[in-house]
Amino acid sequence: MTNTVMDTKPKGLLGKLGHGLGLAGLLSGKKPINAALLDELETLFLTADVGIELTQDIIDAIQQGASRNSLTDSAAVYDFIKTYLLELLAPCTRPLVIAKQATPFVIMTVGVNGVGKTTTIGKLSARLAQAGQSVLLAAGDTFRAAAVEQLQSWGKRNEIPVISQPIGSDAASVAHDAMESATAKSINVLIIDTAGRQHTSTDLMQELVKIRDVISKKDVTAPHEVLLVLDAGTGQNALTQLTSFKEAVNVTGIIITKLDGTAKAGIVLAIAKKTGVPIWFIGVGEGTKDLRPFDAGDYIDALLTS
Ligand SMILES: Nc1nc2c(ncn2[C@@H]2O[C@H](COP(=O)(O)OP(=O)(O)O)[C@@H](O)[C@H]2O)c(=O)[nH]1
Ligand SMILES: [Mg+2]
């Protein structure tokens, strides 16, 4: 038996997305498909951080459609783009599912410094607790003093216990303690926070691999998920992060944060193009409720019109 936590439909995403594509305006009416229109489209895509590769793919596909006469005007292009993007996102729209038989179900959270890992863990743990799961958090960012306190304050706010050790402790040892504690207390979900910065990025990846190994030693099936947190505001840089974390710890799900404010929402498409890994949630603010299940249809609607 499984239990999904993606049970609520996002509402009002339209007002929350930062910088969309604004295609509805450009493509309304029945304008001819010509070089000027394609140029404008290209600029809109690139400005919204869709990335060169995917932008080129879409423009090529439109050109092909136009030359085969299957696309005859701008309104048809709008529908075409919508369908194209929905298909692109389809493999990434799988919810986070907490398998009941895993005790605990372990989610290891990774990502560079400042992307929103700790905040996202706070929001996610609140959501899980609300859905009736018992949750335990592990303060695996032992690199920064504030990081442990930040996780503890989220824990306090939502009455969720937090396992921690003093700053500078071995993060793998925190993970080990947390595994023991979660097992002893029959906790459903253990979420492990990690550092996003070490002295070098090699140190960081080595530490993450070590944490992973310690978890697997306690339960060969764990970690059940490896969550990568990406900040939409970092633009194309997010793709580089995706590649390096995937290589080091085999990412199984993504949460994209800071899609509110000035972030360019097209980055979600670039991420989808680069990977079939599910995008479980998106972050649209700093509050507990600002974590929305990723809904491709809502997202595309907001992206195209905002
Ligand atoms: N606007 C906005 N801010 C966010 C979001 N997620 C996190 N933040 C903020 O980003 C900053 C860094 O977050 P933090 O969780 O400490 O990042 P970490 O270093 O990866 O753990 C904090 O000020 C958070 O409040 C989001 O979805 N939207
Ligand atoms: Mg943190």
The 10s digit of each residue's pLDDT in 157-214 is: 999 999 999 999 999 999 999 999 999 999 999 999 999 988 788 899 999 999 999 9
* Residues in a beta bridge with 162: 137
pLDDT for 13: 66
Ligand 2 mean position to 262 CA, how many Å? 21
Closest CA to 177 of 164, 193, 196: 164
Question: CA–CA separation, 246 vs 140, rounded Å?
Answer: 19
The 10s digit of each residue's pLDDT in 73-129 is: 999 999 999 999 999 999 999 999 999 888 899 999 999 999 999 999 999 999 999
Cβ-based neighbour number of residue 25 at 10 Å:
11
Report pTM. 0.93
Question: CA–CA separation, 132 vs 73, rounded Å?
Answer: 51
Q: Which residues line ion ligand 2, judged by CB < 5 Å?
A: 117-118, 141, 147
CB proximity list for 80: less than 8 A, separation 6 or greater: 61, 62, 65, 71
Which 3-state string (H, E, C) describes 170-216? Answer: CHHHHHHHHHHHHHHCCCCEEEEEECCCCCCHHHHHHHHHHHHHHHH
Q: Report whether pLDDT(14) > 70.
A: no
Of the candidate CATH numbers 3.30.70.250, 3.40.50.300, 3.40.190.10, 3.20.20.70, the domain formed by 97-305 belongs to 3.40.50.300
Closest CA to 158 of 191, 184, 180: 191
pLDDT for 15: 62
CA 13 to chain centre: 16
Ligand 2 mean position to 283 CA, how many Å? 15
Peptide bond into 32 cis (omega under 30): no
Ligand 2 mean position to 111 CA, how many Å? 9
Where do the domains of the chain lie?
Answer: 97-305
Pocket of ligand 1 (CB under 6 A): 111, 113-119, 150, 196, 257-258, 260-261, 283-286, 290
Closest-lying ligand 1 atom to the alpha carbon of residue 122: 15
Closest CA to 251 of 226, 288, 274, 268: 226
